[in-house]
Amino acid sequence: MNISIIGSGYVGLVSGTCFAELGNKVICADNDAKKIALLKNGRVPIFEPGLEELIKNNLKKGRLKFSTNIKEAVINSEVIFIAVGTPPLDSGEADLTGIEHVARSIAQNLTGYRLIVEKSTVPVETGERVKHTIATYVKRKIKFDVASNPEFLREGTAINDFMHPDRIVIGVESKKARDILTSLYQPLNAPIVVTNIKSAELIKHASNAFLATKISFINAVSRVCDKVGANVEEVAKGMCLDKRIGRAFLDAGIGYGGSCFPKDLDAFVTISENVGYDFDLLKAARRVNEEQKSFYLKKIKDALWVLKDKNIGILGLSFKPNTDDIRSAPSLDIIKSLLQDGAKVRAYDPQAMLKIKNEINGITLCKDPYEVARHADCLLVVTEWDEFKELDFKRLKKQMRCALIIDGRNIYDPEEMSKFGFKYISIGRPSRKDGGK
Ligand code: UDX
Q: What CATH code is assigned to 228-434?
A: 3.40.50.720
Active-site annotation holder among 18, 225, 260, 378: 260
Q: Exposed, middle or buried: residue 80 (CB in 10 Å: 0-12, 13-18, 19+)?
A: buried
Establish whether domains 2-204 and 228-434 are of one fold.
Answer: yes
Q: Average pLDDT in the 1-6 region?
A: 98
pLDDT > 70 in the chain, percent: 99
Q: Exposed, middle or buried: residue 188 (CB in 10 Å: 0-12, 13-18, 19+)?
A: middle
Please report which helix (H) or strand (E) contains residue 66, including its range. strand 64-67
Ligand 1 pocket mutation, candidates 219, 261, 349, criterion most atoms within 8 A of CB = 261
Give 115-146 pLDDT, tens digit per residue: 999 999 999 999 999 999 999 999 888 999 99
What does the pLDDT read at residue 168? 98
pLDDT band for position 92 (cuts 50, 70, 90): confident
What does the pLDDT read at residue 435? 59
Interatomic CA distance for residues 110 and 30, integer angstroms: 18
pLDDT > 90 in the chain, percent: 95
Question: Cα(40) to centroid of ligand 1, in Å?
Answer: 30
Instruction: Inform me whether the pLDDT recorded for 11 exceeds 80.
Output: yes
One-letter amino acid for residue 344 of the chain = K
Ligand 1 pocket mutation, candidates 48, 268, 320, criterion most atoms within 8 A of CB = 320
Contact 144, 134 (CB under 8 A): yes
Give 301-354 pLDDT, tens digit per residue: 999 999 999 999 999 999 999 999 999 999 999 999 999 999 999 999 999 999
pLDDT band for position 193 (cuts 50, 70, 90): very high
pLDDT band for position 289 (cuts 50, 70, 90): very high
Instruction: Inform me whether the pLDDT recorded for 437 exceeds 60.
Output: no
Contact 420, 379 (CB under 8 A): no
Q: Considering only CA atoms, which of 10, 15, 38, 35 is closest in space to residue 27?
A: 15
Question: Cα(154) to centroid of ligand 1, in Å?
Answer: 7
Q: Average pLDDT in the 9-28 region?
A: 97
User: Where are the domains positioned within the chain?
Assistant: 2-204, 228-434
Q: Give Cβ neighbours of residue 13 (< 8 Å, ≥ 6 apart).
A: 5, 28, 39, 44, 46, 51, 55
240 is known as an active-site residue: no
Taking the CA atoms of 208, 209, 210 and 215 in sequence, report the sign of the dihedral they define: positive
pLDDT band for position 431 (cuts 50, 70, 90): confident
Q: Which residues line ligand 1 (CB under 6 A)?
A: 151-155, 208, 211, 215, 249-251, 253, 256-258, 260-261, 319-320
Q: Whose CA is nearest to atom 27 of ligand 1?
A: 256
Lowest-confidence pick of 145-154, 199-208, 353-362, 428-437: 428-437
What does the pLDDT read at residue 391? 97
Ligand 1 pocket mutation, candidates 13, 152, 260, criterion most atoms within 8 A of CB = 260
Give 222-270 pLDDT, tens digit per residue: 999 999 999 999 999 999 999 999 999 999 999 999 999 999 999 999 9
Tell me the CATH class for 2-204: alpha beta
What does the pLDDT read at residue 187? 97
Q: Exposed, middle or buried: residue 437 (CB in 10 Å: 0-12, 13-18, 19+)?
A: exposed
Which atom, in ligand 1's list, is nearest to the CA of 383?
25
Other Cβ atoms less than 10 A from the Cβ of 329: the count is: 28
Instruction: Inform me whether the pLDDT recorded for 434 exceeds 90.
Output: no
Question: Cα(383) to centroid of ligand 1, in Å?
Answer: 12
Q: Model-level pTM greater than 0.85?
A: yes
